[in-house]
Chains A and B, each alone.
Chain A
Amino acid sequence: MRVLPIFVFGAVIAAGAYGAQQMGLLDSIAPTEPSTPVVEQASAPPIPVVHQPAATPANGIRRPEAQGTVRSNSDEKVAQNNAASSSPPPPGKPAVDETALRYFASKGDTKRLQAEIARLKALYPQWTPPADPLAVQPIGDTELDRMWTLYSEGKLGELRKAIADRQQKEAGWTVPSDLLERLAVAESRDQLINASNLKQYQTVVRLASATPSLLTCAEIDVLWRVADAFVQTERQQRAIEAYDYVLANCADPAERLATMQKASSALPREELEKLLTREKTGPDGIGEFASVRDDLARRGVSAGGADPKLVVDPADVAAVERLARDGGLETDQLLLGWYYLRRDNAKAAEEWFRKARDTKNTAESSQGLALSLVALKRFSEAEDVLYQWRDGSDEILAVYLAATAGLLGMETQTPIASEILQRIVPVIYEARDVVNAQQLGWYALALNQFQTAAQWFSTALSWKPDDEPSAYGLVLTRARLGDRVGVRDIQAAWQGRSERIAQLGMTSTNPPGTPAAIPNVTLPPRATVPAGSDTNLPPSSLVTPYSATPVSPLSPVPAMPAQTGEAIFPNGAGATLPVTPQAAPAPVSPTEVRPARQARSGTAPARGCRSTIPPGSLSPQAALDRGWCLMNMNRPLEAAPAFEVALRSGSAKIRTDAAYGQSLAYLRAGLAREAAVAATKAPQDRQRTTELRTAILANQATEAFDGGRYVESLLALDERARIAPEQIDLMVLRGYAYLNLGRLGDAERVFEAVAATGSREGAKGLSAISDIRNPQGGG
């Protein structure tokens, strides 16, 4: 049995009907509108059809001319002029069923009228169309007219019923085969479209096979659905045939383009070549599928941007470059940027990303540009480009941090502008980025900011205890600080894990010119951070909030660094230093709110205050919430203004909480004076008052000690001891204050008490006293 593929139109299986070769003639007429709109065909060729309103039911089937007369089909106008008034055909000759013709004429449906005329002429080459299809003899078949009306309105069930009713009532009546055929086709079309909408693809193919007359250019929607059904059921070759049929036979430009677009989204590119050869060229020399070719080129470049190993046709790249230059579309520019970046052509990538960013500053273009700049080692530009977008995604943040790390780690170090540093540091801190923390350590070290360097190295280690470079940096820094014990601690911790740490020799850390008699006194334990300890205090930023204070001349301990007040720049912008997000470590405070470590896995519990919002725009309650959120994220200097806004609340409860919060914030930032002021801004209950007061006093004691004002420090400690018990670390502070004031007896008493608790600091302090009393000679 000969198997005909579904799309053979030269010889349709159905009994002898359509033999014409030209596709236009086989355009079946679809009086029922397809469910998806199909672009209207071009206007009908000019045939003078007189349209009269259907006043009287002028029905009738006009019998054609005598079949014997041969008419020239090409000369329609002549034929029409020659068409005389109707005369009945000779008996025995088949009558051409012109019902539909008359019907469409009466509806004024020129398009379908033409199609019907063409169809009938294909069927009956000897037939000539009537000059005026309306002017036919009515034979009073209102019922048939009603049937055609039902058909045209898509009331197919009713039409079935009407036909069946009439067949029962009128024994001699035969259904016009044309009507029946059309009805079956319309039902099949409805069913096919319904099945297609429900993705029942086998049904679609089955119906299409059974109803080949549906597969013509007038039913482009059906053709598309059938092609799609083939695609979805993995019959790619059939789909290609379907699309190819359309492009080979159908004329409407919009439909052709849509067909090519559908094919290009459904089929792999290799299969499209055949279809693209069907492209027609317009009078302007531009192919009708130019936009599809452009999109294919874009797709090629885009795939190349995703996979560096992919071989991309240079013609595609050239095409997209041309499109990008001519059209200036940001998307095209981005495509090229990613393409070049993936192929390590950072220069070209930078050019295209910059163009894209100039077109529209977006996260993506900024990210791409930053990546290119990082590859080109232009870190400062990269940081600048990406700063505003850093919160866009984890990926972008990673790029930003790469830029900052590069910036900090640059060999030829011009000082980084303070406002840049100020914005970088909080990001690094919040991201817990080890590499950047380490780089900050080196940066500080290079500028002799030893305390700060130590704090950053320690922080890096707290985030990643096995980070050897940070440990190395820390041991170096401690060496510079003369912190022997600290050095030994690290060497012990890293024994066997790091050659260079092990080999670090402890040279004398006495600054030149100091009396050698007094040996080094270890720093108060507060400033010593053994490797690996978890401190939840932020290290100093590289710019500190309060101005430098001179070392008290009373200090016998030359090694005591007085660097916490130092400005970072040699020219010292100390007095007018701006408030920074991270300040000196706060003293140990019992009320300290433990900053919640934000997991950087995308679960952002403090999502609400990640971004910058001016607190003045918030309601007092919202400002209060934001303040606590910021405290949780360890941004006390941003929290303070938020709490200030909350202090404006009419609610006493909110004001109390806000004052409390602000005081804590200033304590955290090491601003004891401000903390004390804040505490008074609203009444607190006794518990909080005590809490704040003890913290403020502890803070003042520490601050004074750091500034070498040991008497002041002791006064603060004394006052504090009156309202709260003195913990070990403050006792140790007291001990060293006495020591530095030469009050060895008092110091000894304190250190003995400390030693009695089992703390090693007691022994250390006693040892220090003993050293002073019994100097061992130069050291």
Chain B
Amino acid sequence: MRRQVIVLIVQLGLLMSNPLSASAQASISAADWQAYKEHFVESSGRVIDDANGNISHSEGQGYGLLLSYLAGQKSDFDLIWSFTRTELLLRDDGLAVWKWDPAADPHVSDVNNATDGDLLIAYALALAGASWSRTDFTEAAGTIARAIGTEAVFETQNRMLIRPAVKGFDKDERADAPVVNISYWVFEAFPALSSIVPDVNWQRVSDDGIALISESRLGPKELPPDWISVATRPKPAAGFPDQFGYNALRIPLYLMRNGNRDPELLRPFLKGMSGADGSVQLIDIESGNVHANLADPGYRIILALMSCVLDGVKLPQDVRTFTPTLYYPSTLHLLGLSFANSEHPECLQ
């Protein structure tokens, strides 16, 4: 049985519809958070990607902040934020450097950012700042969000899109530019960022991201590739594996967590991603062949949630309990459980 921690929130006088003012009950249990933390968060506050040479990155820090917030763990949030701030928030433009390698000296060798990491960090700071009355968090969230708006949001062919990083994805950097990654759209972050940086049109970014999903259903399985060139109509970007892969499998999770239950949007994912025994299939776009079958419950929960949201199928037992495996699926698992706990408890009954 999970112990729920109830945290009192000071109302900021904002509208009840403001996501940041909603009272936050911890949707991740202390035990689950503890298990995650023991495996993936070092005492210095850096989140460890144990499938990737134990490096840290802005995505991991963002997930760590978000999960600790969802678990109501203030001091762990402080811990993770301390590392994030002193070691990654170094760029002149206010965004985070994307990678930190314990084995390298200096630890940071590439100062490029990764926009999904920045979005996650800003989002978690916005949530925590509002819930815990930490103006320092809110201010920091605003700085990062403004930087994202300035450096990473761009218009092309009447769409407002997110560039995956400040460097490397634009015209005169690649032939098939601009290139985007739909899984970098952390849909739930946009309403939160609207509250603190309203002069960026986050709503439009969100809407155009969803539109892009619909236009990017490619190949026999009608799934979007991880990396997409939008120079003309969407097609797989050159130089990347032409796959619905580890990146894109997050898209339905992000959609659901943002409250999207549109079957037109979700069912193609459910159909295309489902493998035998509820495992997640990674697909080669052009052939439609299965590239890999992922059985980790952290991936399977995504399918299970879609089944529940669309068809009312309760979550199977094996995805209800959390045991840490690797950083990435474990992160997705907790995000999935958090979503079920707070928005769809009926799926867990």
Are A200 and B90 touching (Cβ within 8 A)?
A: yes
The residue in chain A whose Cβ has the minimal distance to the Cβ of B107 is A194
**Alpha-carbon separation in the docked complex, A51 to B66 (Å):** 46
**Alpha-carbon separation in the docked complex, A162 to B79 (Å):** 9
Q: Report B50-82 residues with CB < 8 Å from chain A CB.
A: 74-82
Q: Is A191 an interface residue (CB 8 A)?
A: yes
Are B43 and A155 touching (Cβ within 8 A)?
A: yes
The residue in chain A whose Cβ has the minimal distance to the Cβ of B100 is A194
Q: Is B108 an interface residue (CB 8 A)?
A: yes
Are B90 and A161 touching (Cβ within 8 A)?
A: no
Report A-chain residues with C-beta under 8 Å of the C-beta of B97.
198
Other-chain residue from B75, B86, B89 in contact with A164 (beta carbon distance below 8 A): B75
Report B-chain residues with C-beta under 8 Å of the C-beta of A705.
none
Q: Is B328 an interface residue (CB 8 A)?
A: no
Are B86 and A161 touching (Cβ within 8 A)?
A: no
- The verdict on A157 contacting B108 (CB below 8 Å), with A191-B86, A201-B92, A203-B91 known, is no
Report A-chain residues with C-beta under 8 Å of the C-beta of B82.
156-157, 160-161, 187
Q: Is B45 an interface residue (CB 8 A)?
A: yes
Q: Is A319 an interface residue (CB 8 A)?
A: no
Q: Is B44 an interface residue (CB 8 A)?
A: yes
- The verdict on A160 contacting B75 (CB below 8 Å), with A155-B43, A191-B85, A195-B90 known, is yes
Report A-chain residues with C-beta under 8 Å of the C-beta of B91.
200, 203
Q: Is A109 an interface residue (CB 8 A)?
A: no
Taking the nearest CB of chain B, how far is it from the CB of A547, in angstroms? 73
Are B90 and A160 touching (Cβ within 8 A)?
A: no
**Alpha-carbon separation in the docked complex, A160 to B79 (Å):** 6
Other-chain residue from B44, B76, B80 in contact with A155 (beta carbon distance below 8 A): B44
A side interface size, CB within 8 A? 23
Q: Is B106 an interface residue (CB 8 A)?
A: yes
The residue in chain A whose Cβ has the minimal distance to the Cβ of B92 is A202
**Alpha-carbon separation in the docked complex, A579 to B97 (Å):** 71
Chain A interface, DSSP helix/strand/loop, else mixed: helix
Report A-chain residues with C-beta under 8 Å of the C-beta of B106.
197-198
Report A-chain residues with C-beta under 8 Å of the C-beta of B74.
164, 168
Taking the nearest CB of chain A, how far is it from the CB of B161, in angstroms? 26
Q: Is A190 an interface residue (CB 8 A)?
A: yes
Report B-chain residues with C-beta under 8 Å of the C-beta of A200.
90-92, 111
Chain B interface, DSSP helix/strand/loop, else mixed: helix
Q: Is B101 an interface residue (CB 8 A)?
A: no
Q: Report A188-216 residues with CB < 8 Å from chain B CB.
A: 190-191, 194-195, 197-203
Other-chain residue from A156, A161, A199, A202 in contact with B76 (beta carbon distance below 8 A): A161
Taking the nearest CB of chain B, how far is it from the CB of A677, in angstroms? 67
Q: Is A158 an interface residue (CB 8 A)?
A: yes
Taking the nearest CB of chain A, how far is it from the CB of B215, in angstroms? 37
Are B43 and A203 touching (Cβ within 8 A)?
A: no
Taking the nearest CB of chain A, how far is it from the CB of B108, in angstroms? 6
Are B92 and A157 touching (Cβ within 8 A)?
A: no
Report A-chain residues with C-beta under 8 Å of the C-beta of B246.
none
Are A165 and B111 touching (Cβ within 8 A)?
A: no
Are B45 and A157 touching (Cβ within 8 A)?
A: yes
Are B111 and A194 touching (Cβ within 8 A)?
A: no
Taking the nearest CB of chain A, how far is it from the CB of B24, in angstroms? 15
Are A158 and B85 touching (Cβ within 8 A)?
A: no
**Alpha-carbon separation in the docked complex, A160 to B137 (Å):** 14
Report B-chain residues with C-beta under 8 Å of the C-beta of A201.
92
Report B-chain residues with C-beta under 8 Å of the C-beta of A202.
92
The residue in chain A whose Cβ has the minimal distance to the Cβ of B75 is A164
Q: Is B83 an interface residue (CB 8 A)?
A: yes
**Alpha-carbon separation in the docked complex, A194 to B84 (Å):** 12
Q: Is B49 an interface residue (CB 8 A)?
A: no
Other-chain residue from B79, B86, B108 in contact with A198 (beta carbon distance below 8 A): B108
**Alpha-carbon separation in the docked complex, A165 to B83 (Å):** 17
The residue in chain B whose Cβ has the minimal distance to the Cβ of A188 is B86
Taking the nearest CB of chain A, how far is it from the CB of B36, in angstroms? 15
Report B-chain residues with C-beta under 8 Å of the C-beta of A158.
43-45, 79
Other-chain residue from A155, A156, A187, A191 in contact with B90 (beta carbon distance below 8 A): A191
Are A187 and B86 touching (Cβ within 8 A)?
A: yes
Q: Mark B285-307, 1 if CB is under 8 A from A, else 0.
A: 00000000000000000000000
Report B-chain residues with C-beta under 8 Å of the C-beta of A187.
82, 85-86
**Alpha-carbon separation in the docked complex, A191 to B77 (Å):** 18
Among B77, B79, B85, max chain A CB count under 10 A is at B79
Taking the nearest CB of chain A, how far is it from the CB of B122, in angstroms? 17
Taking the nearest CB of chain A, how far is it from the CB of B101, in angstroms? 13
Q: Is B87 an interface residue (CB 8 A)?
A: yes
- The verdict on A157 contacting B75 (CB below 8 Å), with A191-B89, A198-B97 known, is no
Other-chain residue from A157, A190, A191, A194 in contact with B79 (beta carbon distance below 8 A): A157
Report A-chain residues with C-beta under 8 Å of the C-beta of B90.
191, 194-195, 198, 200, 203
Q: Mark A163-203, 1 if CB is under 8 A from B, else 0.
A: 11100100000000000000000010011001101111111
Are B108 and A165 touching (Cβ within 8 A)?
A: no
Report B-chain residues with C-beta under 8 Å of the C-beta of A155.
43-44
**Alpha-carbon separation in the docked complex, A191 to B91 (Å):** 11
Are A157 and B89 touching (Cβ within 8 A)?
A: no
Taking the nearest CB of chain B, how far is it from the CB of A507, in angstroms? 76
**Alpha-carbon separation in the docked complex, A161 to B78 (Å):** 6
**Alpha-carbon separation in the docked complex, A434 to B83 (Å):** 70
Report A-chain residues with C-beta under 8 Å of the C-beta of B92.
200-203
**Alpha-carbon separation in the docked complex, A168 to B74 (Å):** 9
Q: Report A432-482 residues with CB < 8 Å from chain B CB.
A: none
**Alpha-carbon separation in the docked complex, A199 to B109 (Å):** 12
Are B43 and A164 touching (Cβ within 8 A)?
A: no
Are A168 and B85 touching (Cβ within 8 A)?
A: no
Q: Report A475-530 residues with CB < 8 Å from chain B CB.
A: none
Known A-B contacts: A158-B43, A200-B92. Give 13 more (CB < 8 A). A156-B82, A156-B86, A157-B80, A160-B82, A161-B82, A163-B78, A164-B75, A187-B82, A187-B86, A191-B89, A194-B90, A195-B90, A200-B111
19 contacts between A and B (CB under 8 A): A155-B44, A156-B86, A157-B43, A157-B78, A157-B80, A158-B45, A160-B45, A160-B75, A161-B45, A168-B74, A190-B86, A190-B87, A191-B86, A194-B87, A194-B90, A197-B106, A200-B90, A203-B90, A203-B92
Binding site for A on B (CB under 8 A): 43-45, 74-83, 85-87, 89-92, 97, 106, 108, 111
